[in-house]
Amino acid sequence: MAAGGGVRAASSMETPSWAARIRGADGQIVGAGILLSPDRVLTCAHVVDAAAGRITAEFVGATGHSVPSMAAWVDGDAYVPETQDADGDPSGDVALLRLERPRPAEEAVRLHRLSASNRDVRMYGFPEDHNGGIWFRATVVGGCGRDGQVQLIPTSPGELASPGCSGAGVADSLTGEVFGMVLTGQKDAHGNLFSFMTPAETIVRHLHHVHPFTVGRTAVDDRLRSTGDDASDTLLDEPFAQGLAAWLRDDGQQVKISVVRPGDSARAATLRRAITLADRELRTAASVHRASLDPPGTIPSAGGHDLAVDADGLTCAEIAERISERMGLRQHSADLATDGIRDTKATLSLVVVGVDEAVDPPALLDLLEVLRAGGSRLLLVFRTAGALHRRARDELLIRPARERRAQLVERLREITGPLAGALYERRAAVVPDGIRPMDSDLVAAHAALADLTRAEDDPGRGPDRVRYERLAEWVAARLARHIDRLDRLRDRRDELSGRLRGYHVLHQHSAQGKEDPAVDALYLRAHALLQARPCDVRAAEAAVDAYTRKVDDRDGQRRSRLGGSPS
């Protein structure tokens, strides 16, 4: 049994005891659920709707030879249907069921408050043809939408969350801790596959009934939470609020460093407001409605950060332990927490307030560099713009910006040089049939390279650099696809050349030196098309087909004549 009651998620070799199979009034499987206590099951509101008034919960992972089955119903008002805003952004879709009969307490599982990004996860659902349930895997991409939902990429196309999986528990693949619930799966117009989950904090915000079954410290330290007094118009620093909201919406800046001096009540209140609104659990409808009256661009996204720590009076080891706990890392002592953070591939968006008020600020900066190097996003707030603030800017902002810019320049040089040359070489060899020209993309890459080489290395140019990084990624990906398609056309041209040569030899042998103007004309046309540069592979293929068909016809006619002659 896990601390706080319940069990950890089952290993990949077991059917989890907490996994509930939900059937509707017609006996069909309509979804899944998570046993949070002996008589409570968490599921999606749309699963309840699909059950059409009669819900049956079945526990396929229970011990024994039979599958326990019992009636269930919504627990009072613990039902929040999915709603959509004017942009079609979904919210809610959670419900808590009460069971007719309790299950053994050791079969239940707790929800864990964990960071999500870059985490490998697995879920146990009941898709079509798998009535007994099946594990399916995914990787967390990050938050999406205003409700704090999280996007997953299936490990393979067959592992997309499908009907029968809604309501399934989402467990960390490494620790087995359940930290969210599957909502739905989706294949978009471009063929991309995505699954979506709602994390523990968002569930608790919608359903306070789930709070007793949720473990782990909340993401925001008490002193960083917004208070009623913070709602005053005079306590909003609008430019600061817009900058915070931009970072919390992931504007492309990995590290943001700010100063909030003691006594600056407006800036301090603005910081608390942003941290609170960006937290999945603290962001309530009332707080968002109140903030919506403020200037545009000052409201951050739900899930904009994973953890907000007040460093005042804390040791580096204590902060590392807090981060490690939030990332779901196992450590036997605080001293090993930093090693775990360094070794994990998981990342988080971290807010640290009062960096220069920690017990050992230089050691804390070393820890923050480990997080930055691992890909985590950092919002760091200092109380004074002193030597420590300057060191942080140099080590966490300016030096990485220089390195990142140098890498981008090198990447753009590769794109506009060797990769572009490889593309033009192939376009000179074969006609790029059905392949859109990339001239405008390469012109944009050249312009970005020129801009970067002219500009001074100023971290303030970060947003432009982010745009150029996305451009480089886009152009490089298109170049790779185009080169691959052109290589396949070249390979097809070579195959056709070999086929033409083979048939020509066979024809000459069977014709025994006799001329056949019709066949020879077809051969010469096909040969000319294959030798042309660039080669029109489609036209050459049609010409080779015409030649080989004619050779086959002539050969068939000769065999027919030979077969009909006297022996």
Q: Express each pLDDT in 458-486 by its tens digit.
A: 544 444 788 899 999 999 999 999 999 99
Considering 36-40, 300-304, 336-340, the range whose residues carry the highest mean pLDDT is 36-40
Q: Which of 76-85, 192-201, 377-386, 489-498 has the lowest mean pLDDT?
A: 192-201
The CATH code that applies to domain 19-215 is 2.40.10.120
The CATH code that applies to domain 222-385 is 3.40.50
In tens, the pLDDT along 398-412 reads 999 899 899 999 999
Q: Which of 160-169, 182-191, 203-212, 427-436 has the lowest mean pLDDT?
A: 182-191
The confidence score (pLDDT) of residue 190 equals 66
> Which positions ≥6 away from 360 have C-beta within 8 Å?
315, 316
Residue 3: pLDDT band (50, 70, 90) is very low
The confidence score (pLDDT) of residue 293 equals 64
Residue bearing the bigger pLDDT, 155 or 181:
181
Q: Which long-range contacts (CB under 8 A, 24 or more apart) does 498-507 make?
A: 499/544, 499/548, 500/526, 500/527, 500/530, 500/544, 500/547, 500/548, 503/547, 503/548, 503/551, 506/551, 506/555, 507/551, 507/554, 507/555
Q: If we measure between CA atoms, which residue out of 199, 305, 184 comes closest to residue 248?
A: 305
Which amino acid is present at 297? G
Q: What's the pTM?
A: 0.79
Residue spans of the domains in the chain: they are: 19-215, 222-385, 488-564
What residues pair up with 307 in beta bridges, in sequence order?
A: 350
Residue bearing the bigger pLDDT, 12 or 237:
237
Q: Which of 19-28, 230-239, 494-503 has the lowest mean pLDDT?
A: 230-239
> What percent of the chain is modeled with pLDDT above 90?
64
Q: Are 92 and 196 in contact (CB under 8 A)?
A: no
Counting Cα atoms < 13 Å in the Cβ hemisphere of 441 gives: 18
> Which positions ≥6 away from 129 have C-beta within 8 Å?
none
φ and ψ of 431, to 5 deg: -70, 125
Per the prediction, the chain carries an average pLDDT of 88
User: How many Å apart are CA 352 and CA 14, to the nearest integer?
Assistant: 40
User: How many Å apart are CA 208 and CA 302, to the nearest integer?
Assistant: 18
Q: Within the chain, how many helices (H) and strands (E) appear?
A: 15, 20
What residues pair up with 19 in beta bridges, in sequence order?
A: 34
The confidence score (pLDDT) of residue 353 equals 98
Tokens 């052109």 label which residue?
486
In tens, the pLDDT along 282-327 reads 987 656 555 566 788 888 888 999 999 999 999 999 999 999 999 9
Whether the domain at 19-215 and the domain at 222-385 fall into the same CATH topology? no
pLDDT value at 1 more than 60: no
Q: What is the mean pLDDT of the segment spanning 199-226?
A: 94
Q: Are 200 and 150 in contact (CB under 8 A)?
A: no
> What are 468's two structure tokens?
């150029």
Q: Which of 90-94, 242-246, 353-357 has the lowest mean pLDDT?
A: 90-94
- The dihedral formed by the CA atoms of 113, 118, 119 and 125, expressed in degrees to the nearest 10: 100
Residue bearing the bigger pLDDT, 86 or 278:
278
- Parallel, antiparallel or unpaired: strands 90-91 and 349-353: unpaired
Query: CA distances (Å), 184 to each of 147, 162, 193, 490, in order?
Result: 15, 7, 11, 43
The confidence score (pLDDT) of residue 170 equals 94
In tens, the pLDDT along 413-430 reads 999 999 999 999 999 999
pLDDT value at 188 more than 70: no
Residue bearing the bigger pLDDT, 318 or 116:
318
